[in-house]
Structure 1
Amino acid sequence: MGSRIGSRVKELLAPRSFRHRLMAASVVCILVPAFITLIVYNSLTEEAVKRQAVANAEDSLQLVNGSVTNVLKGMLNVANYIQVNSDMNAYFKLLTSGNDDGSDPYEKFMARNRVLQQLDSLTVLGEKFFVTVLLSNGEFFTSYSADDYRPLSWKNHEWFGRLESLRGFQSYWSPAEPTAFGLEKLDHPYQLSVGRTLRKENSEIYGYIIVTTMEDQISSIFGRLTAGQEVMLLDGDGRIVSDRDPSKIGEAYPYPEGSEEAGSYSIVKRDGARWLLARQPLPFNDWSLVSVQPYKEAIVNISSIFNRVFLFQIASFVAFLLLLLVLLREFTKPLARLGRTTSAVQRGNLSIRSGIRGQDEIGRLGFLFDQMLDRVQEMIAEVSETQARKRKAELKMLQAQIHPHFLFNVLNSIRMKVMRRGDPESAKMIASLSKLLRMTISKEEDAIFLHEELDLLASYAELMNLRQKEEVRLELDVASEAFLVKVPRFFLQPLVENALVHGLKQRAGTIRVSAELDRLFLKMTVEDDGAGMEPDRLAALNARLNAAGPPSPNGRGGAGAEEEEDGTESEAEGSTERGSAGRTAGGADRGAEGGRERRTDRGVNGGMERRADRGVNGGMERRADRGAEGSADGGARGGSFSGIGLLNVVERMRMVFGDGFRMSVESEPERGSTIRLYIPRKEGARDV
Structure 2
Amino acid sequence: MKNSIRSKLIILLLIATIIPFGLSIIANYFYTKNTVTKEFVNTNHDLLKRSGNDLLNYYNEIYGIPLSIYSNRPFLSVLENGATAYIEQNSAEIQRSLLGLYFSRREFVQLHLYLTKGKDDYTVYNAKVSSRGKLYNFNQIPAYRNLSYSRDSYYIQPTHPIQNYNNLSDFRIEPVKQVVSFHYFLNNVTSDQWLGFLSIDIELSRIKEIFDRIYKKGEEHLFVVGDGNVVLYSSEKRLIGKKLETKWYKKITSDRSGEASFDWKDKDFSGVYVYDKITSNHQQWTVIKSIPYKNLYHNSNQLLKITVTLGAISVLLVIILTIIVSFRFTRPIRILIRDMQRIEKGELAVSFDTLGNDEFGQLGKHFTSMVDTLNDLYIKEYKLQIENKTNQLKVLQSQINPHFLYNALQSIGTLSLKNDGIKVYRLIMSLSKIMRYSMKNNEDFVTLKDELNHIKDYLSLQNERYDGKFVYNLEVDEGLNKVKMPKMILQPIVENFFKHGFEKQQKLGELNISIHRQQDNRLKIVIADNGEGATEEELENINSSLSEDGLNTNESIGLKNISDRLHFYYGKKAEVKIESVKHENFVVTIILPIEMTRGEVNHEGSTNR
CA distance in 2, matches of 1:674, 1:70: 79
Q: 2:452 aligns with which of 453, 458, 476?
A: 458
* Corresponding position of 1:6: none
What amino acid maps onto 2:224 in structure 1? Answer: L
SS in 2 for 1:548: helix
TM-fit CA distance, 1:651: 3.5
In the alignment, which of 291, 308, 312 is matched to residue 309 of structure 2?
312
Unaligned ranges ≥5, structure 2 = 124-132, 167-175, 234-238, 340-350, 370-424, 597-603
Instruction: Tell me: CA distance 1:182–1:493, structure 2 relative to 1, closer, same or farther (3 Å).
Output: same
Q: Distance in 2 between matches of 1:156 and 1:232?
A: 30
- Kept in 1: contact 2:143–2:183 (CA 8 A): no
Relative to structure 1, the CA distance from residue 50 to residue 665 in structure 2 (aligned partners, 3 Å threshold; closer, same or farther) is same
Q: 1:246 aligns with which of 243, 247, 259?
A: 243
Distance in 1 separating the partners of 2:55 and 2:482: 91
Contact residue 532 and residue 586 of structure 2 kept, 8 A: no
Distance (Å, rounded) in 2 between the aligned partners of 1:27 and 1:281: 56
1-structure distance, mates of 2:304, 2:208 = 37
Give, as a single letter, the amino acid of the residue that structure 2 aligns with 1:173.
I
Letter in 2 for 1:151: Q
More helix by share: 2
Report the counterpart of residue 411 of structure 2 in structure 1. none
- Matches of 2:538 and 2:206 in 1, distance apart? 90
- Pick the aligned partner of 1:664 from 574, 579, 589: 579
User: Any conservation in 2 of the 1:269–1:275 contact (CA below 8 Å)?
Assistant: yes
Do 1:475 and 1:513's aligned partners in 2 also have CA atoms closer than 8 Å?
A: yes
Matches for 1:355-370 after TM superposition, within 5 Å: 358-360=356-358, 362-363=360-361
**Alignment check: 8 A CA contact 2:262 2:273 kept:** no
In structure 2, what is the Cα distance between the partners aligned to 1:59 and 1:173?
24
What are the superposed Cα offsets for residues 128-154 of structure 1, whole Å, 9 maximum, x if unpaired? 7684626167x3647699799843765
Is it true that 1:495 corresponds to 2:493 in the alignment?
Answer: yes
Q: Distance in 2 between matches of 1:664 and 1:485?
A: 26
Partner of 1:231: 222
Q: 1:20 to 1:162 in 2, by over 3 A?
A: farther
Q: Quote the residue 1:620 is aligned against.
A: none
Q: How far apart, CA to CA, are the structure 1 residues paired with 2:481 and 2:264?
A: 82
Deviation at 1:314, TM superposition (A): 1.0
Scaled by the length of structure 1, the TM-score of the pair is 0.46
Question: Post-superposition shift, 1:127?
Answer: 8.1
Q: 2:561 aligns with which of 645, 648, 663?
A: 648
Q: 1:334 to 1:440 in 2, by over 3 A?
A: closer
Which aligned pairs between 1:132-151 and structure 2 lie closer than 5 A? 133=114, 135=116, 139=119, 141=121, 150-151=139-140
Q: What are the within-5 Å matches in structure 2 for residues 368-383 of structure 1?
A: none
CA gap of 1:136–1:59, structure 2 versus 1, over 3 A, is same
Aligned mates of 1:474, 1:81 — CA distance in 2: 95
- The question of 1:527 aligning with 2:518 is answered no
Q: What's the TM-score once normalised by structure 2's chain length?
A: 0.51
> Which amino acid in structure 2 is aligned with residue 492 of structure 1?
L
Comparing 314-323 with 34-43, greater Cα deviation is found at 34-43
Equivalences for residues 52-131 of structure 1 within 5 A: 92-95=79-82, 131=112
- Whether the 8 Å CA contact 2:434–2:457 is kept in 1: the answer is yes
Cα deviations by residue, 1:467-492 (Å, 9 ceiling, x for unpaired): 67828864224578999999766543
* Displacement after TM superposition at 1:75 (Å): 9.5
Residue type of the alignment partner of 1:242: L
Cα 1:427–1:362 change in 2 (3 A) is same
Provide the residue aligned with 2:376 in structure 1.
Answer: none
Give how far 1:19 is off: 10
What letter is aligned with 1:675?
Answer: V
Stretches of structure 1 that go unaligned for 5 or more consecutive residues are 1-15, 260-266, 343-352, 372-423, 566-632, 635-644
The match for 1:329 is 326
Distance 1:517 1:333, change over 3 A: closer
Within 1, Cα distance between the matches of 2:499 and 2:205? 109
Partner of residue 514, structure 1: 514
> Are 2:190 and 1:197 aligned?
no
For residues 85 and 510 of structure 1, do their structure 2 counterparts lie closer, same or farther at Cα, with a shift above 3 Å needed?
closer
- Rounded Cα–Cα distance in structure 2 between residues aligned with 1:71 and 1:84: 21
Residues in 2 aligned to 1:361 and 1:300: alpha-carbon distance in whole angstroms:
50
Give the number of aligned pairs: 474
How far apart are 1:324 and its partner, in Å? 1.2
Inter-partner Cα distance in structure 2 for 1:49 and 1:323 = 36
Equivalent residues in 2 for 1:570-581, closer than 5 Å: none
Tell me how far 1:331 sits from its aligned partner. 0.9
Distance 1:70 1:513, change over 3 A: closer
Matched residues in 1 for 2:273 and 2:429: separation? 101
Task: Name the SS of the counterpart of 2:563 in structure 1.
Answer: helix
Contact persistence 1:522–1:679 (CA under 8 A): yes
Residue in structure 1 matched with residue 348 of structure 2 by the alignment: none
Q: Residues 553-572 of structure 1: matches in 2 within 5 Å?
A: 556-557=551-552, 561=553, 564-565=554-555
Amino acid at match of 2:309: F
Alignment of 1:113-512 (within 5 A): 131=112, 133=114, 135=116, 139=119, 141=121, 150-151=139-140, 154=143, 156-157=145-146, 160-163=148-151, 166=153, 171-173=154-156, 193-200=181-188, 202-211=190-199, 226-233=217-224, 242=232, 244=239, 246-247=243-244, 268=261, 275=272, 277=274, 290-294=287-291, 296-332=293-329, 358-360=356-358, 362-363=360-361, 453=448, 455-464=449-458, 470=464, 474-477=472-475, 490-499=488-497, 511-512=511-512
From the superposition, tell whether residues 468 and 299 of structure 1 become closer, same or farther in structure 2 (CA, over 3 Å). closer
Cα 1:172–1:24 shift into 2, 3 Å? same
Deviation, structure 1 residue 460? 1.0
CA-based RMSD: 7.3
Amino acid at match of 2:457: L
**Structure 2 CA distance for partners of 1:664 and 1:425, relative to 1, 3 Å:** same
Give deviations 1:200-240, integer Å, cap 9, x for gaps: 484533323253769999999989995444534366x9987
User: SS at 1:328's partner residue?
Assistant: helix
**2:392 counterpart residue number:** none
Asked if 1:674 corresponds to 2:586, the answer is yes
Residues 271/491 of structure 1: CA separation in 2 closer, same or farther (3 Å cut):
farther
